Amino acid sequence: MALLEAGVEPVVIGLAMGLLAYAYPVPRSRLERATERFRQFREQPTAELARVARVELRSATSVNERLQQLFHPWTSYVIVPLFALANAGIAIDGGVLARAFSSPITLGILVGYVAGKPVGILGGSWLLTRLSRGRLQPPVGWAAVAGGGMIAGIGFTVALLVATLAFDGAQLEEAKLGILGAALGAALLTWLLFRATALLPRRTRIRALLGTSEPLVDLYVEVDPERDHVRGPVDAPVTVVEYGDFECPYFGQAEPVVRQLRREFGHVAYVWRHLPLTDVHPNAQLAAEAAEAAADQGAFWEMHDLFLDHQDALGPDDLIGYAEQLGLDLDRFTTALREHAGAARVAEDVDSADLSGVSGTPTFFINGRRHYGAYDIATLSAAVRAAGVRAALATPTAD
């Protein structure tokens, strides 16, 4: 209200607040602190501990995400529709159309959105690619970049806001007509572009949409066959990395999906990395060290499978029993457990998880790209197929 009364457009403070409310990944330290507060409340359910636990849980996520969850229903279903109704209404007749499409305001908006947006986005991407000599380039094909530029020609709420600030009267109506006409034209051109792309030969179409550049990598520490635990061909075109906790029930639910994935895709390498969530799973750290002790005797995957079949029995005696069941050298195994010989190796995986922004299990990376969303067989299979197509396109073919 103060800005409005002072003659400053209030949208300025909205932009400033948007810059202040930045997003960031949840660090494991905050998750552990929130878990500890909740455990204290579970043991002693008082109003004060409930308040503290609630504060810790809220602070574990970024302000940006909390505000988005709080305001999204209001902005999407109340504020934006009201804004559109209040600002987009114009009476269209023959005279308005004849005047508007000979108006430099309407024509300028149409050209700026329908032609300027795709030219700016496509041209800027191409120029950056040329200036960097290919080191920086879009992670998708040029048809997808052009389509993104064209669809960006649809302007609505912000465009109407700017038009309202810049014009009034008949000029405002001409500007609004230009904005609505540009939205229609941009949508039509985008549809035509992708319709034409769909008619191309399959390999050309895939290359035009997905490109051949190396994708951005989310996995901070690359897979090293000499160090990592790998199942499947180490030179496979698709590598799936999973950060897991042997005691985590969600990891246990994901394991049958991983096994089915490996059966269906023989060209996939599966990599396991440790992320014991010690604040909620008391036996996870020792189980991880036991797996490393088994790895020293060439039985990592056998121990891995036993742990997953007995997630509710991972105490010290259970671990020794599994080693005996696998026929391992018990003296060597128990000595490794007692001296925590595998702790450093597990810590390396935990550090790599932190560097990659991983805070929970299971978390998957497919060819270095983090997999977001569900980890059912249909979703993971689709992600593996897409990664396989990208890998095939990136592989040069013989003439």
Task: Give yes or no for a contact between 143 and 208, defined as CB atoms under 8 angstroms apart.
Answer: yes
**Structure token digits, residue 368:** 């270095």
pLDDT at residue 216 in the model: 58
140: phi then psi, degrees, rounded to nearest 5? -130, 175
Q: Can you tell me the distance from the alpha carbon of 288 to that of 24, in angstroms, rounded to the nearest whole number?
A: 29
Number of residues assigned to the chain: 399
Which residue, among 154, 137, 151, has the nearest Cα to 193 in the 3D structure?
151
What SS3 class is residue 49? Answer: helix
Q: Can you tell me the distance from the alpha carbon of 235 to that of 241, in angstroms, rounded to the nearest whole number?
A: 14
Residue ranges in the chain whose pLDDT is less than 70? 85-93, 96, 212-217, 393-399
Give Cβ neighbours of residue 22 (< 8 Å, ≥ 6 apart).
62, 63, 64
* Type of residue numbered 207: R
Query: Domain coordinates of the chain in residue numbers?
Result: 2-87, 94-210, 229-394
Topology of the domain covering 229-394: Glutaredoxin (3.40.30)
pLDDT at residue 398 in the model: 46
Beta strands in the chain (DSSP E): 229-231, 238-244, 268-274, 363-366, 369-370
pLDDT at residue 87 in the model: 65
